[in-house]
Amino acid sequence: MSKTISIISKNIKKYRKKLGISQDRLSKLADITLHTITKIESGATSDPRIETVKKIADALGVKTDDLIR
């Protein structure tokens, strides 16, 4: 499972950087806490909820699949 999480972490960071937005801005766009974004990107959250991943994908303007593959 941790392999999947590291892929999600890397992809969130990649798309966030591509948009040139901070973790704080992403948290506001996705309507989730900055703490949650930080934990997911760092890999500290071992199993983010699919609803959370979907909110992040929507905020980044990508598909959920783009974050998990």
Low-confidence ranges of the chain (pLDDT < 70): 1-5
**52-67 residue pLDDT tens:** 999 999 999 999 999 9
Q: Which CATH number fits domain 2-68: 3.40.980.10, 3.40.1350.10, 1.10.150.20, 1.10.260.40?
A: 1.10.260.40
pLDDT at 5: 60
Residues 6+ positions from 6 with CB-CB distance below 8 Å: 43
For residues 59 and 25, the answer to whether their CB atoms sit within 8 Å is no
